[in-house]
Amino acid sequence: MPLFDAAQLREEKHRYFVAAGGGIALPVAGAIYWIGLAIASNYLSPNDWAFWAAVFSGAIFPLGVLLQKPLASPFLKAKSPLSGAGLMAVAAINFLWPLHMVVFYAAPSAAPLTLALGMTLHWPVIGWAYGSRVTIAHGFVRAAVVSAIWFMLPEGRFDILPVAVATLYLLAAVGMRWEISRLRRKKEGVIQSAAEALA
């Protein structure tokens, strides 16, 4: 017998999404990281940029943890049977690091693209776990945008591309917050209707 039927699964996804505050602390942390990379492009060679981009990528999660409270996004406290899917998807993107290292040393101009795409792979999975259309859409939109910038604006690979990623992160955070507000209003409406029916 399945743990959830379709309706229960959808309800659990939405409950988890709301409880985690959409996990928006992490995309905001990601935006800060990519803004930093855009600024660093004015001072670093492509090789040095790639090196420091790799080093500071490890700061995204700790920064996200610190931003949980001010952004009302307690993703570490939110518990669900679905949370494992997102965690494994995040873990899986780390398998790309050997490829990133090859790119960093052999073709550093491709580093912004490989990092932007590599850090996108888990978004559709997390979007599925949250039942969030915004989160799923972010992954596909980001892959298209960064690929277009890399191929069509080669002079912007180290500044325009990071700014685009940061912007998409922030737009995703706003969109996820909107989804959460909509789900809360919907739940409040159901509770109010039930209370009126019992009155």
Alpha-carbon distance of 130 to 175, in angstroms, equals 13
Full domain range(s) for residue 176: 6-192
pLDDT for 57-101, tens place per residue? 999 999 999 999 999 999 999 999 998 888 899 889 989 999 999
Does residue 197 fall inside a structural domain? Answer: no
- Residue 87: what are its φ and ψ, rounded to 5°? -65, -40
Confidence category of residue 54, pLDDT binned at 50, 70, 90: very high
Using DSSP's 3-state secondary structure scheme, residue 121 falls into: coil
Count of domains in the chain? 1
Query: Which of 54-68, 82-96, 108-122, 172-186 bottoms out in mean pLDDT, i.e. has the lowest?
Result: 82-96
Question: Which residue is it, tokens 């990071």?
Answer: 162
pLDDT surpassing 80 at residue 3: no
Does residue 199 fall inside a structural domain? Answer: no
Nearest to residue 132, comparing CAs of 87, 98, 181, 197? 181
pLDDT surpassing 70 at residue 177: yes
pTM for the model: 0.90
Does residue 172 fall inside a structural domain? Answer: yes
Does residue 1 fall inside a structural domain? Answer: no
Does residue 147 fall inside a structural domain? Answer: yes
pLDDT surpassing 60 at residue 1: no
Alpha-carbon distance of 130 to 98, in angstroms, equals 30
Nearest to residue 166, comparing CAs of 71, 25, 27, 23? 27
Question: Which residue is it, tokens 């500071």?
Answer: 56
Does residue 66 fall inside a structural domain? Answer: yes
Does residue 154 fall inside a structural domain? Answer: yes
